[in-house]
Amino acid sequence: MKKNSCILAFAGICLTSSAIAQTKSLITFTPDTATNIRAIAVVNDSTVWFGGSNGSWGYTTTNGSDWKMGKTELGWQNTDFRSIAVTPDNAVLIANIASPGYILRTNDMGSSWRQVYKNENKEQFFDALVFSDDKNGWALGDPQKGCIQLLKTVDGGLNWSAVDCAFLPKIETGEAFFASSNTSIDAKERSVWIATGGPKARVIYSSNRGKSWKVSETPLQQGEKMTGIFSLAMYNEKLGVVAGGNYDNKAKTDNTIAISVDGGKIWKNKFDKHGQEIKDLPFVSCIQFVPKSKGKKLIAACLPGIYYSDNYGRTWVKINDEGFYTFRFSPSGKTAWFAGAKGKIGRMDF
């Protein structure tokens, strides 16, 4: 990358990569130090929800100047909520890891929660929750008896039904999904993508709302229990990114990111006819496209560090040293909210 290339602009000012590193300030909050946060959902520039461990949840509508904190009702208070989604009509849903597995829903800003799903299977473990619109949503869980647990809703999360195992692809023994950042599944319009890890790092995808599925290989690190894809994000139905690595060896930077431009059929970590390689990152817990950037700009939350790219991930610049599990952009792309251990939440304004 040329030192004088303009890779991001603020208020009409052209900034170089070094200027970004100096300019990008991170404002941090700790609304609840007793919880670890791996689930975050951003409604707009000033409103963000989170789900955490110890049954905790919370939100701000004031850009972080104050927080509404809560605990779910008795029986859910020891759960670890690692999945969250806010629908366009402002219903909030959270799901926990481990058994019993719950999906809870509120439409009154947390004043009351309704249990809309429960599973007491000993293998129960929810990994991620996502909605493509205000009605259609997906909940992903680790395999049970060798079958992917994939739930679907068509009524905004009021009711959930399991996708028949006969319609889902087979996965290898030990192959599962990571609940590191609520990004092991994504959905756009009629398409759904699922990222796997362990012995394989693959993408399972459907272009017809789950009626049929295909599987694609990726070049990401794989073969060990804590290797594979920890985060998947789609900019649209064609352009997507997968990232991860080895959680037990976070400094290993080879094969931690790959890009698809054909809806997930092929994933590459090399570009153009010369085979230009993607600049690898340390272990990636969460990766996202910057909204309204035509897919060129990405942010990666690594452990540790926050990284930025303006060229589809070919090169990266570190813009902050903090380590976070997960993050999301506001729809406008002006604000990114990060979350991590001991209740730490960060806000970075673009």
Dihedral pair phi/psi, residue 22, rounded to 5°: -85, -30
To the question of pTM greater than 0.75 for the whole model, the response is: yes
DSSP reduced 3-state for 96: strand
> Can you list the pairs that 132-137 forms with residues at least 24 positions away whose Cβ atoms lie under 8 Å?
132/187, 132/188, 132/189, 132/190, 132/192, 133/87, 133/88, 134/87, 134/88, 134/89, 134/91, 135/87, 136/187, 136/209, 137/85, 137/87, 137/93, 137/187
User: Could you tell me the domains of the chain?
Assistant: 28-349 (2.130.10.10)
H, E, C per residue of 188-253: ECCEEEEECECCCCEEEEECCCCCCCEEEECCCCCCCCCEEEEEEEECCCCCEEEEEEECCCCCCC
pLDDT confidence of residue 273: 52
Q: Which residues pair with residue 205 across a beta bridge?
A: 193, 214
Q: What DSSP letter does each residue of 16-44 carry, written as one string?
A: -HHHHHHH--EEEE-S-TT--EEEEEE-S
pLDDT of the residue at 22: 41
pLDDT of residue 72: 67
Q: Residue 255 in contact with residue 219, Cβ under 8 Å?
A: yes
Cβ atoms < 10 Å from Cβ of 277: 12
Residue 271 identity: F
Provide the pLDDT for residue 107. 94
Residues of 123-152 as b/e, b for ≥16 C-beta within 10 angstroms? Answer: ebbbbbbbbbeeebbbbbbbbbeeebbbbb
- Distance between CA atoms of 250 and 302, rounded to whole angstroms? 9
The pLDDT, as a whole number, for residue 24 is 66
Q: Which residue has the tokens 């952009």?
A: 329
Q: What is the per-residue pLDDT for 350?
A: 83
The per-residue pLDDT string of the chain (350 residues; one tens digit each, 9 = 90 and over) reads 333 333 333 333 333 444 444 446 899 999 999 999 999 999 999 999 999 999 999 999 999 999 998 876 666 777 899 999 999 889 999 999 999 999 999 999 999 999 999 999 999 999 999 999 999 999 999 999 999 999 999 999 999 999 999 999 999 999 999 999 999 999 999 999 999 999 999 999 999 999 999 999 999 999 999 999 999 999 999 999 999 999 999 999 999 999 999 999 999 986 655 556 666 799 999 999 999 999 999 999 999 999 999 999 989 999 999 999 999 999 999 999 999 999 999 999 98
